[in-house]
Amino acid sequence: MKIDILTLFPEMFDGAFSHSIIKRAKEKGLAEINLFNIRDWSAGKHKTVDDYPFGGTAGMVMMIEPIARCIEELSSKTVYDEVIYLSPDGNLLDQKLANRLSLSKNLLILCGHYKGIDERIREHFITLEISIGDYVLSGGELAAAVLSDAVVRLLPGVLNDETSALSDSFQDNLLSPPVYTRPSDFRGWKVPPVLLSGNDKEIVKWRHEQSIERTKKRRPGLLSE
């Protein structure tokens, strides 16, 4: 999979993409992530990428020209399955959406900043808008890192145990069951006996029951979806 990210602040991704699962995916050649600075497509002497909004409201707006040039140049070289814009009013990122995007070959992600991007970019270039939650961030970079991580970890071969992702929270509209490791007895706090029994059938049953119970208590709305 190739993910191309358009941003004003490429350095913000240094930590997120240099460790853990993303790093492993890149090293294995399973994921290619490229960062493009939108300023490089600004025609102005000072590489200006924002301007005052029409109508006199507060804040600045990312200009249409640099973004359009950038998307058009990259799209001439790569056929993208989706051109994604991270926005508070986009589709809420959930596991189903992450699963769907993980089947893509090429994704283009646009990170907004300031008061957002010129609406004409959304109308003519963007194919999918995504929000990672009902709150506002200073820019789309953190959201793009979250989206990339959620998608890349699902690629076959990225995780050492490929069944691990299948047991993640939300895969079946259920939260994950409790997990335990050594020691089995810590200060008298003991691991449920069934997990030590070696009875795979009973363990699977217990985990499913725990997932349902935890979902009922913490996220009951998932059970009605």
Quote the CA–CA distance of 38 and 49 in Å, as a whole number: 8
% of the chain exceeding 70 in pLDDT: 95
- pLDDT given at position 46: 87
Give me the DSSP letters along 28-55.
TTS-EEEEEEGGGG--STT---EEPPTT
Report pLDDT for 170: 60
Contacts of residue 151, Cβ cutoff 8 Å, sequence gap at least 6: 1, 3, 98, 101, 102, 104, 107
pLDDT confidence of 58, banded at 50, 70, 90?
A: confident
pLDDT of residue 173: 82
- The three-class DSSP label of residue 209 is helix
- Give the model's pLDDT for residue 44: 78
Provide the mean pLDDT of the chain: 93
What is the reported pLDDT for 171? 64
Percent of the chain predicted with pLDDT > 90:
84
Question: What's the average model confidence in pLDDT over 204-209?
Answer: 95
Model pLDDT, residue 205: 96
Q: Are 222 and 176 in contact (CB under 8 A)?
A: no
**Domains (range + CATH), the chain:** 2-152 (3.40.1280.10), 169-224 (1.10.1270.20)
pLDDT score, position 172:
75
How many other β-carbons are positioned within 10 Å of the β-carbon of residue 225? Answer: 9
| Cβ within 8 Å of residue 76, ≥6 positions away | none
| pLDDT beyond 80 at 168 | no
CA angle 28, 32, 34 (to 5 degrees): 145
pTM score, whole prediction: 0.87
